Amino acid sequence: MQDSKATHIGSPLTRVDGRLKVTGQAKYAGEFNVAGLIYGVIVSSTIAKGQITKIHTQEALAIPGVIRVFTHENRPPLPTFDRKYQDQDAPGGSPFRPLYNAQILFSGQPVALVTAETFELARYAASLIRVEYEVEAHRVGLREFRDRTHSPNTSKSGFKPPPKPWGSPDEAIAKAPVTVRAEYHTPVEHHNPMELFSTTVVRDEDGRLTIYDKTQGAPNNADWVSKVFGLSSNKIRLISPFVGGAFGSGLRPQYQLFFAVLAALELKRNVRVSLTRQQMFTFGHRPEAIHSFALGASTDGTLQSVIYDVISETSRNEDYVEVVVNWAGMLYQCDSVRLGHKVVALDVPTPMDMRAPGAAWGVYALESAIDEIAYASGIDPLQFRLKNYSEQDQTQQKPYSSKELRACYSQAAERFGWSRRSPAPRSMRDGRRLIGMGMATGIWEAMQKPAKAKAALGLDGRLTVSSATADIGTGTYTVMTQVAAETLGFNAADVTFKLGDSSLPEAPVEGGSATVASVGTAVQQACQKVRNRLVKIAISAPDSPVAGANPEDLAVADREIVHRHDPSRRISFQQVMRLGNVLHIEEKAAAFPRTLIQRRYTRCVHSAVFIEVAVDEELGTVEVTKVVSAVAGGRIINPKTARSQVLGSIVMGIGMALEEESHMDKRLGRFMNHDLSEYHVPVNADIHNIEVLFVEEKDDIVNPLGAKGLGEIGIVGVAAAVANAIFHATGVRVRDLPITIDKVMGGLRSEAIS
């Protein structure tokens, strides 16, 4: 059966959840109020490594209204084995277990929970808890311990070890007439979404728990609670309908979930536990990394050798690792390549995925190094990239399922005005401001994961579709509504999409820009099943206008089944259901990657980002005045939400380039700028003209929808383009992010002296 011309996919539908959010009706995890709710406040460790010798709780417990203080000394029994604490996104190693014993693994580790009848009382009582420690020497700072590396555990979901070397990298670089050897440093960053992590646990008379939690994966967190506390899955329902930003911080269960469930079970009360902004700096972060490059090229700009080694941090208890170096073997054609990645175990919380994990840092270093060798070769940076354009993924010797990167370069360069650029550094000026233009390439995986969905059509003409996925601000509610409406010929206003509930059909954590490809495919298939059921009833019912028709001759549109060759033969969905004597049609679908086909290809989304900066030569301030980003992202389901995703990513990339950095006092092993006053992110005054272009790209391999994820690609390459623009403006190459005023001024002074 063929459908009529689609109208929903590709339309800029306004967010279906937008009104709820702007009117304050959207409820977040810390806003579900119930009778008899008590509050928990977490006490954090003040040392980075050691043992708790004594916890003084008497003063807090003496306050009327304080219910109980939980510590490692009075907690109920907990599982011993690591697998009970591992979740879908866990790396190799031993996951952190709150209150498991007296050992301190990192500064800010939760060591106690104070519960009380009011939040204010719990917070005050928590301030009275005194903890004595036996302090041990801690190890923090990647640069200080870069010689203590080891090969990472490769068991983390999504991690692909660096490929084996090919060609003769060392020999080729020794013979290359043009070489660049450079080291880049990328700092620790923290996610800092607007919504703090919070969990509200509601316990019914039968002991069942309804858990309102901030998460990017309700099924993942529900399963984790089940394993840690030994509860059957039918005793737990975890709900997360709205998420106030996450950027990867909600992929794994955070420790407030543990404490809220623990207190609810032990006290048999409804409990809420929320983290403070300072405590948001006491779990996962984007890991610090050191990137070492050696590039060789011929005088005509042909890459002859690429050697790229990364050292990144992990925790002592888990072996966190990202795909950082592999992109260098994918983006550019080169006959001799060696890529390596080592990690250093430090006394810090386990790092975790943050928007475009691995690529955000790896492509920054790669695209900066490519810019350097382009200048060293005397070739325009864009032309250098085009000259070394890769037609296949050399790391796996596979073709790309689609790759419209050349079109990205062309369209973005034209819109940006790259031809106006004067090639020499320090050659463009506006008054006392030096003007620079830089560009970089972006790349990210186009993934599809197994997912399930359900579609239910009622006799009232309403379509309800559901999956346990999340919406972290990306527009999942909206695009799934569009996919469902498109598939069944509905108006979007007559479709309801439900998500964020562990009782719904299972879905993977929302991360990696895989949600539309994964859940969207399941939604499409569930709706197709409903459509097929309607058609089967329509052609088999004797009184139907399309009785006996060939299914291939029928189309669906406007909640009707229509004969393609005789439009007068049509029947509404409601009439079909009445003829079939059914009040409700419900179908489920499980969508899986088409492994046999997809494994033959490398599936990626690509981008080209061009940036203009203005650098005040006297003050060292950097202003990003113009950005043009062209993205080849397959089929764009909703141009409005897609553009918003890329815009947000670009802003985050500007922050990465110029502002974001978590500073650690290495004597204490503690992050010090742990609030939004001192942890700097871009504000309105920092952001100017940003233009997003979507390059037409058809891909029948990535998934049945032909869509590629967009949440990550917008950030990849932005920091490099900013850094490259600053070099073009000033002649100063800053290789240490973020590029702050002191680094720019230091470079300008050195330039002046030389």
Give the pLDDT confidence score for residue 6 in this predicted structure. Answer: 54
Average pLDDT over residues 112-132: 98
Tokens of 105: 């693994």
Give the pLDDT confidence score for residue 2 in this predicted structure. Answer: 45
Please tell me whether residues 388 and 461 are part of one structural domain.
no
Write the DSSP string, 122-134: HHHHHHT-EEEEE
H and E: helices and strands count for the chain: 16, 33
Q: What is the pTM of this model?
A: 0.96
Average pLDDT over residues 156-183: 95
Q: pLDDT-derived band of residue 604, with 50, 70 and 90 as boundaries?
A: very high
CB 659 within 8 A of CB 682: yes
Write the DSSP string, 584-626: EEEEEEEE---HHHHTTSB-EEEEEEEEEEEEETTT--EEEEE
Does 144 map to a domain?
no
Please tell me whether residues 541 and 605 are part of one structural domain.
no
Beta partners for residue 557, in sequence order: 560
Rounded Cα distance between 452 and 586, Å, is: 14
Mean pLDDT of the chain, nearest integer: 96
Tokens of 256: 């407030």
Please tell me whether residues 439 and 477 are part of one structural domain.
no
For 502, other C-beta atoms within 10 Å of its C-beta total 25
**The one catalytic residue among 288, 445, 697, 712:** 712
Average pLDDT over residues 127-154: 96
Q: Using one digit for the tens of pLDDT, what is the confidence trace for 495-521?
A: 999 999 999 999 999 999 999 999 999
Please tell me whether residues 263 and 129 are part of one structural domain.
yes
Rounded Cα distance between 149 and 704, Å, is: 43
Average pLDDT over residues 421-436: 97
Q: Which residue is listed with tokens 């808890």?
A: 129
Within its chain, how far is the Cα of 133 from the centroid?
37
Q: Which residue is listed with tokens 């994961």?
A: 449
Q: Using one digit for the tens of pLDDT, what is the confidence trace for 647-660?
A: 999 999 999 999 99
Please tell me whether residues 702 and 641 are part of one structural domain.
yes
Rounded Cα distance between 269 and 513, Å, is: 38
Rounded Cα distance between 218 and 522, Å, is: 17
Q: Residue 536: which residues within 8 A CB-CB, separation 6 or more?
A: none
Q: Using one digit for the tens of pLDDT, what is the confidence trace for 691-715?
A: 999 999 999 999 999 999 999 999 9
Does 684 map to a domain?
yes
Within its chain, how far is the Cα of 279 from the centroid?
21
Please tell me whether residues 655 and 707 are part of one structural domain.
yes
Give the pLDDT confidence score for residue 7 in this predicted structure. Answer: 81
Does 161 map to a domain?
no
Does 734 map to a domain?
yes
Please tell me whether residues 80 and 220 are part of one structural domain.
yes
Amino acid at 698: K
Please tell me whether residues 457 and 442 are part of one structural domain.
no
486 tagged catalytic: no
Rounded Cα distance between 329 and 390, Å, is: 9
For 564, other C-beta atoms within 10 Å of its C-beta total 16
pLDDT at 205 over 80: yes
Amino acid at 203: R
- Which of 281, 303, 328 is where one domain is finished? 281
Amino acid at 383: Q
Please tell me whether residues 308 and 258 are part of one structural domain.
no
Rounded Cα distance between 598 and 699, Å, is: 11
Q: Using one digit for the tens of pLDDT, what is the confidence trace for 345-387?
A: 999 999 999 999 999 999 999 999 999 999 999 999 999 999 9
Please tell me whether residues 357 and 235 are part of one structural domain.
no
Cis peptide bond N-terminal to 738, omega within 30: yes
Please tell me whether residues 222 and 317 are part of one structural domain.
no
Average pLDDT over residues 304-321: 97
Amino acid at 404: E
Average pLDDT over residues 453-457: 98
CB 271 within 8 A of CB 260: yes
Q: What torsion, rounded to 10 degrees, do the Cα atoms 469, 472, 475, 477 define?
A: 40
Average pLDDT over residues 224-231: 98
Does 4 map to a domain?
no
Average pLDDT over residues 614-634: 97
Please tell me whether residues 645 and 657 are part of one structural domain.
yes
CA distances from residue 90 to 98, 105, 248, 416, 509 in whole angstroms, order as listed? 16, 17, 13, 41, 12
CB 637 within 8 A of CB 483: yes
Query: What percent of the chain has pLDDT above 90?
Result: 96
Nearest to 518 by CA among 707, 720, 277: 707
- The total number of structural domains that make up the chain: 3
Give the pLDDT confidence score for residue 158 in this predicted structure. Answer: 83
Q: Residue 657: which residues within 8 A CB-CB, separation 6 or more?
A: 718, 719, 722, 723, 737, 738, 739
pLDDT at 4 over 50: no
Parallel, antiparallel or unpaired: strands 270-274 and 198-203: antiparallel
Parallel, antiparallel or unpaired: strands 451-458 and 560-563: unpaired
**Burial letters 172-193, b for 16+ CB under 10 A, else e:** bbeebebbbebebebbbbbbbb
Does 474 map to a domain?
yes
Nearest to 628 by CA among 435, 402, 418, 433: 418
- Which of 592, 608, 627 is where one domain is finished? 592
Domain at 80, CATH number: 3.90.1170.50
In which region does residue 735 sit, left (phi positive, over 0), alpha (psi from -120 to 50) or beta (all else)?
A: alpha
Q: Using one digit for the tens of pLDDT, what is the confidence trace for 555-574?
A: 998 899 999 999 999 999 99
Per the structure, the complete domain to which residue 716 belongs is given by 149-156+169-189+285-447+599-753
Does 164 map to a domain?
no
Domain at 355, CATH number: 3.30.365.10
Give the pLDDT confidence score for residue 1 in this predicted structure. Answer: 47
Average pLDDT over residues 420-424: 97
Q: Using one digit for the tens of pLDDT, what is the confidence trace for 172-204?
A: 999 999 999 999 999 999 999 999 999 999 999
Does 397 map to a domain?
yes
**Burial letters 293-310, b for 16+ CB under 10 A, else e:** bbbbbeeebbbbbbbbbb
